[in-house]
Structure 1
Amino acid sequence: MPSDSSLLATQDQVLHRLLSAVFGPDAATSALTVLTIDPALSGTGDTVSRAQVAMALNAALFADLLDRVPTAARYVLSVREAGETIGFDHGALRTIDGQTGDLPGGHQAFGRFLAPLGYEVAALYPLPKLRMTGRAYVQRDLPETIPQFFVSELHVDQLSEGGQAACASVFGASVDPLGEAEWAAFDALSAGGACSFDEAVTALKGALACFGRQHEPPSLTDYEVLLSETGEGAWIATEGNAFNHATTRTADVVALAEELRADGYPMKPSVEISQNGRVRQTAILADKVVRPFREADGAEVPLPVPGSFYEFITRDIDPETGKLDLTFDSGNATGIFAVTRNA
């Protein structure tokens, strides 16, 4: 698809200036030129809209995922070499609905600051096989071109007593990365839908800090308990609230999956198809990462575990509305979540 990103990758553009404040001008240029950016997000000056902060957050999270997921970086490089850009559909993260110390439990850990960025919950998606619930957060100003967030939460009270105890041990002393300065910036965005450039930088850095591990490395014993009951809970134990995956919107996910499989990518065996038939998804299996675990004597041991991954989605037009079908599907999500268990 043609790119308008180059229009936004100059020093005087708001998005470029925001991302430069986070990780420097070169990385900002790289992050913006790889994504398809809505021209409505262009602009200069010292007033920043909530939509611009939302897109800057997504661009930064996308860049971070490429740093952590080599197979995703390989795919994105091939897109760039072909002279195309990525249509970034949505990112996903996992949360704990249980004891989380100073961090708000479940989706509220993110909904609390996504709302000032113009996001609202569009729909709930029960995931009973996973003992989870998913929520689709859509950006109200530019719902088709600013990526959604699919925020899932693990219901700890549905685990065994041993599983609940392991969750309390791992997540019960989580910290909250947001402080007074960040909330002042979010409040400014909430009040007027825009804020000063300095407030936008503070809000962006604060939001990014939430996409990490807010607890200490888990003990190996607790991790093994979680792994036996909930692969998703075990994943959160090592990865925290990091971007679980980022998703490219593509015209034909079935054909793309076949091409990638032929190119040697470790693809999910099947394509998930929504009940209405309009949303189709598949993914590359999660890359392995090495994470520290605490042993009984207090020593830390590094072990390989599943990390994040990269997903692909095709969305058709909803004939009733004439607009792109931006919904998700509980069955699709359940199937996609297996990517981190099968890695």
Structure 2
Amino acid sequence: MSIATGNAAQAPETLLKLLQPTLGEERARWVLDTLEIDPALAGSADYASRAQVAMALNAALFADLLDRAPTAARYVERMRQAGEPIVFDHGALRTIDGATGALPSGHEAFGRFLSALGYVVGGLYPLPALTMTGRAYVHLDLPASVPQFFVSELHIAQLPEAAQAAAARIFGDSADPLGDDEWRALDALARDGGCSIEDGVTVVRGALRAFNRQHPAPALADYEALLEHSKEGAWIATEGNAFNHATTRVPDVIAHAEALKSESFPLKPAVEISRNGRVRQTAILADKVSRPFVLGDGSTVERAVPGSFYEFISRDLVPESGLLDLTFDSGNATGIFAVTREQA
């Protein structure tokens, strides 16, 4: 992806200090110039609020997704060329509710440290068609400005026995990416609501590692056994807890989608509309990626599988409060999940 500088010299200094050790100065300035940053997150102090640490983590995850999803990178470059900043609404990830070795099971693998960054569960979304449950983690301090996390978990115990056994072999030796240094910094952040830049960098780096695959490359036979009963589980087998997608908030998602289709972006056919009509979503189809699988003789083979993608959302105001509707919708989420479904 090409790196333009634009007005990056004006990047908020505290966020830049939090990002630069991980992304490098040029890349950190680039991503902060690309995203719309609430002035409340600006500053140049040597002390970072939990909202600033949360925003820095989201910016790092956004950059990581663009490195893994070329079509998403092409979209973001399109917006930069048009001079339109990205309003980063939320990111999504998938987890395993089952045996995961040293890694806490399900959403707790992320809730345990997102709480220190100021996040709480703002909504619970059953996804029965996918044998999953989604949770929306919303930031307490700046809920409309700091991106949410939509964390879903696959309920392994509800799958057929063959898929359960395959999942246990795939995910059962997962590692915990967070160590003593990360927990010391997270504990300080949770206690004080802010931290030193040094501790903030430790949190961002450690949390960024959590959005990765924590288990070894899966056996091809186990992957195929899980794929038969859960395409979402198969996605986690190859991609782990990586950002499944990042989402731009746009004024009119329907018009935005039509414009992108005219430019040959591969979008899903339909726009998902929430039951209350206020939340509308669509997405670019997932890019394919090459991933290793272990064969019975111990050798490996590469296969093309669905990777991550980019989503768009429009949110209306809630009439009773006049505030932006920050909720999600189970039907919308189920429809969006389809863009990473490997064809059987």
Q: Is the TM-score greater than 0.5?
A: yes
Residue aligning to 1:198: 198
Instruction: Structure 1: state its 5+ residue gaps.
Output: none
Name the amino acid aligned to 1:44: S
The equivalent residue for 2:134 is: 134
Deviation at 1:67, TM superposition (A): 0.6
Q: Which runs of at least 4 in structure 1 moved beyond 3 Å after TM superposition?
A: 4-8
Corresponding residue number in structure 1 for 2:11:
9
**8 Å contact kept, 2:272–2:282:** yes
Cα distance per residue 1:28-50 (max 9 Å; x no partner): 00110000000100111221110
Root mean square deviation, CA, Å: 1.2
Q: Partners of 1:247 and 1:273 in 2: how far apart?
A: 15
| 1-structure distance, mates of 2:258, 2:59 | 27
Cα deviation, residue 9, structure 1: 1.5
Q: Secondary structure at the match of 1:106?
A: coil
Judge conservation of contact 1:285–1:339 (CA < 8 Å) in 2: yes
Matches of 1:51 and 1:8 in 2, distance apart? 19
Task: Provide closer, same or farther for how the CA distance between residues 5 and 39 of structure 1 changes in structure 2, counting only shifts above 3 A.
Answer: farther
Is 2:338 the counterpart of 1:338?
Answer: yes
Deviations 1:162-197 (A, max 9, x none): 010000000001000101110000000110101111
1:132-157 C-alpha deviation (Å, 9 max, x unpaired): 00000001110001100000000000
Deviation at 1:279, TM superposition (A): 0.1
Q: Does 1:222 align with 2:222?
A: yes
Structure 2 gaps, min length 5 = 1-5
Q: Give the conservation status (yes or no) of the 8 Å contact 1:246–1:311.
A: yes
- Structure 2 matches for 1:107-146, cutoff 5 A? 107-146=107-146
Paired with 2:261 and 2:81, the residues of 1 have a C-alpha distance of: 19
Q: CA deviation at 1:17?
A: 1.1
What is the percent sequence identity of the aligned residues? 65
**What secondary structure does 1:96 align onto?**
strand
2:148 paired residue number: 148
- For residues 263-321 of structure 1, the C-alpha deviation after alignment (integer angstroms, 9 at most, x for no partner) is 11111010000000000000000000000000000001111000000000000000011
Residue 3 of structure 2: aligned partner: none
Where in structure 2 are the equivalents of 1:125-274 lying within 5 Å? 125-274=125-274
One-letter amino acid of the counterpart of residue 296, structure 2: A
Amino acid at match of 2:58: N
Per the alignment, residue 44 of structure 1 pairs with 44
- AA aligned to 2:236 is I
Superposed, which structure 2 residues align to 1:25-104 within 5 Å? 25-104=25-104
Aligned residue type for 1:283: A
Tell me which amino acid in the other structure corresponds to 1:251.
P
Q: What letter is aligned with 2:11?
A: A
Counterpart secondary structure, 1:125 = strand
Pairwise CA distance, 1:236:
0.1
2:305/2:342 contact within 8 Å kept: no
User: 1:327: which partner in 2?
Assistant: 327
Quote the Cα distance in structure 1 between the aligned partners of 2:224 and 2:218.
10
**Counterpart for residue 280 of structure 1:** 280
What residue identity is the alignment partner of 1:212?
N
Contact 2:9–2:29 at 8 Å: present in 1 too? no
> Matched residue pairs, number?
338
- Cα contact 1:249–1:315 (8 A) shared by 2: yes
In 2, the alpha carbon distance for the partners of 1:244 and 1:222 equals 21
Q: What is the alpha-carbon distance in structure 1 between the residues aligned to residue 200 and residue 7 of structure 2?
A: 20
Deviations 1:41-68 (A, max 9, x none): 0111221110000000000000010111
Contact 1:36/1:86, CA 8 A, preserved across alignment = yes
Q: 1:195-227: CA deviations, max 9, x gaps?
A: 111111111111001000000000000000111
Give the superposition deviation at 1:25: 0.3
